[in-house]
Structure 1
Amino acid sequence: MAGLLRSPLVLARSSICASAVRACQPALTRTFLINVKPTKKSKLEQGETINSTIASTPELKDKDSKYRIEQPSPAVVAFSHRMGLNQLKDQTLVMRIITHASHERVGVQTNERLDYLGSKILKMFVVEYLHTKYPKMPTDMQQEVVEAYTRPDTLSLMAKEFGVEDVARWVRSKPEMGHQLTLKTVKASIVRAMVGALYIDQGPIKARDFIHAHFLSRKLDLAPFLKVEEPKRYMSSLMKRLDREHPVARLESETGRNSKAPVFIVGVYSGTEKMGEGFGYSLKMAEFRANKDALTKYYLEEHKDFSLPSDAEVEGTVYRPTKVGDTQVIV
């Protein structure tokens, strides 16, 4: 028992030594990895980054520095592929096509120039097609048909089919401008800008093919565009100029002459050739329609196999010139 007891002095020394040993132990060090999110760059820094990128990229260095390059949205990309605009060599034209002149933003190009160019190209190829396919069509009638194909109402309906409403960029006119810009006008400008972009980027044949596929492929009733007030007199002058026999109206069939709703069918003949046919509740109306039908068949005679003047631009195609059609009779 005596050996197990220690004096207070010994115990104090042992306590001091133990404290010194604990104080001399090496401290444990821990390393923490902190992910710091980059702060948003200011507009000035962003502009400097874009400028440095353009300066280091040969493809972008040639671009006009005052216009900024915009990235198309998924809707614009889908629209571009659907309309074949993804084949454009200059893909910056896609954003320019859908941007109306009313979209006032600094550094953004609009479709104003492409719209003007496209309107002229559109009318040129429509006139070429009508002039070649219907060589006898009167000039005033041709002007109205061209207007029917290219007027804003027609282009607006086509733009709706193309899906232009989903990608168009425009701003309504300000009240102090005195007029209100409509979506129909914007959609028509975008369609014309598409034609202008194809012409300037892909050449005239690509623009012509686009017009034939989306414009001239639509069926249009041309008969109402031939406006003649006196078709009988007009028909007589036409046969005289063509050195043909004078037109004669003949009653071919009738029903209910003495009833409240009679019907007469009249044919117009030049010699033995039947030129036209018409019906009506009176002989006078049936004769009027028969002469109108004869004039319509003459002036809207189609050439089935013909070459367009623009075919001369197609490599490997032999262009066969067509004769200039007949002119309208002056009564």
Structure 2
Amino acid sequence: MKSLRLIRWSGFVLSQRTRPCSIQLQCQYRRLLPQKSRAHSTAAAAQHQYDDTASTGTRTDSQEYDAGASISTSRKEIAEASKSRLPRHPLQRKTSPTESARLAALHARLTLPPRLPLTTFARCLIDPSAKPQPNQNNASLSVLGNDLLGYFASEAIICRYPRLPQEVYVSAVTAYVGTKTLLAISREWGVEHAAAPGPEVDPGFLQFSRLIAGNASVDGTGTQFKELDGPADQVQKLRGWQRGVTSQDLDNKSSKETAATHSSAGSRLRTPSEPPPKTLEEASAGFVRALMGALYLHTGLRQTKAFFNAHFLSRHLDVSSLFQFEQATRDLARLCARESFDPPLARLLSETGRKSRHPVFVVGIFSGREKLGEGSGGSLDEARIRAAIAALKGWYLYSPLKVRVPSEVVGKSGETWEPVMIDGGEVLV
């Protein structure tokens, strides 16, 4: 067998590992160089010299110097070409709302009409704490959207349940369009928030200045203690009883440490004209309200009402769970007296296991011959109270068969509004 001679190609492999080559740089940045400079560049000469020396296996000092000069020249050309052709750093580039894929995806995911432009939709995602300029944040749109949400929810609840008490009505409106509900809706929509506002943030993110948790004794945003009234000596004694010496020392020490931490972190005092920071819950609620306001301005009342029905009224709410009666039997007696009904009377309908460990009694509340409610319990009093509560809920949760709201006939010339039922109100205790 003949032995193989590995001198020529082994030197070529070793030369690639031990010293830089202009061929590699030229191949790596071939697309960045212009056509003329690539044809007449000094990298071609360096490549020719390198091929000659690779065939012979020896290099002179002059050849090494020429190759180094060619490499440095090619690097300069590559750097100049990269500055002119490579895009800017993403942190230095500001994406417009029309070019944001995230914003367009959110617009399509909510099935918003095309009449709502992306520029207005991007403005809805900017909280006043991120940009104080009124024409660049969603403050004005949020005020309009808040009024629309309250109006739509109020008319839907009042027309459906015209006999609801005031407290239950307010709780129902809050359950539909409250701050926590709007936060849950924004999360269901897939709205993401930025870590900090800035010009480099994608318009598809919710921008706001986050409220940083701090000590109440330092920033004054925590729990406020009630002021004590009375003579000065008694107030001083009461304050001394409220807080001991040990707790005072610990609170003073923690407040000093928190103040030192804030000062070392570079925190600054907020000017009176600067909007205060907000929590994620408040910023998300402001975005949803601003979106409702923008929909109303660009699409009108009908499209806005359809969007509200699809995303808000479609949520299930058990209104009967919002009631809380302290004296149900007394309220039922006053209700019957106000409506000129016969006085309510509790009757035992059925029972089982009276002398057992777990008896069950079924009691009904009657007004004349009409049964108002029915309830069961482990004792006669419990069953009677539950029957009175069922009778009160049956009265307050009355709903007409055909529910219509005033906003349905707005803008329709051929339809007239038929007044809905107006109840006398709840029973006053």
- The TM-score with structure 1 as length reference comes to 0.74
Which of 196, 202, 206 matches 1:168? 206
Deviation at 1:270, TM superposition (A): 1.3
Structure 1 residue 119 corresponds to structure 2 residue 119: no
* Aligned residue identity for 1:119: N
Residues 245 and 72 of structure 1: CA distance in aligned 2, closer, same or farther (over 3 Å)? farther
Deviates more, 1:179-188 or 1:156-165: 179-188
SS in 2 for 1:313: coil
The aligned residue for residue 319 of structure 1 is 417
| Aligned-partner Cα distance in 2 for 1:71–1:162 | 20
Which of 119, 125, 128 matches 1:101? 128
| Aligned-partner Cα distance in 2 for 1:95–1:129 | 30
SS in 2 for 1:258: coil
The aligned residue for residue 39 of structure 1 is 84
| Aligned-partner Cα distance in 2 for 1:152–1:207 | 19
Deviation at 1:108, TM superposition (A): 7.9
Alignment of 1:1-331 (within 5 A): 33-34=36-37, 39=84, 70-104=97-131, 109-165=136-192, 167-173=205-211, 181-315=278-412, 316-331=414-429
Aligned residues: 276
* Aligned residue identity for 2:287: I
* Aligned residue identity for 1:129: A
SS in 1 for 2:362: strand
* Aligned residue identity for 1:201: H
User: Is the Cα contact below 8 Å between 1:307 and 1:321 reproduced in 2?
Assistant: no
Deviates more, 1:279-288 or 1:94-103: 94-103
Deviates more, 1:84-93 or 1:139-148: 84-93
Identity between Structure 1 and Structure 2 (%):
33
Residues 186 and 302 of structure 1: CA distance in aligned 2, closer, same or farther (over 3 Å)? same
Deviation at 1:301, TM superposition (A): 0.8
SS in 1 for 2:372: strand
User: Is the Cα contact below 8 Å between 1:155 and 1:188 reproduced in 2?
Assistant: yes
The aligned residue for residue 27 of structure 1 is none
Q: Which runs of 4+ in 1 moved over 3 A?
A: 32-41, 68-72, 88-91, 104-108, 173-181
- CA deviation string 1:117-174 (max 9, x = no partner): 2112101110111111111112232112112222211111111111112632223236
Q: Mind listing any 5+ residue stretches in structure 1 that lack a counterpart?
A: 1-31, 44-67
User: Is the Cα contact below 8 Å between 1:85 and 1:94 reproduced in 2?
Assistant: no
Deviation at 1:103, TM superposition (A): 2.0
Residues 106 and 277 of structure 1: CA distance in aligned 2, closer, same or farther (over 3 Å)? closer
Deviation at 1:309, TM superposition (A): 0.9
- The TM-score with structure 2 as length reference comes to 0.58
Residues 74 and 86 of structure 1: CA distance in aligned 2, closer, same or farther (over 3 Å)? farther
| Aligned-partner Cα distance in 2 for 1:72–1:324 | 52
Deviates more, 1:220-229 or 1:276-285: 220-229
Q: Mind listing any 5+ residue stretches in structure 2 that lack a counterpart?
A: 1-34, 39-80, 89-94, 194-204, 222-276
Deviation at 1:37, TM superposition (A): 7.5
| Aligned-partner Cα distance in 2 for 1:310–1:106 | 34
Pairwise CA RMSD = 2.9
Deviation at 1:299, TM superposition (A): 0.7
User: Is the Cα contact below 8 Å between 1:311 and 1:317 reproduced in 2?
Assistant: no
User: Is the Cα contact below 8 Å between 2:361 and 2:379 reproduced in 1?
Assistant: yes
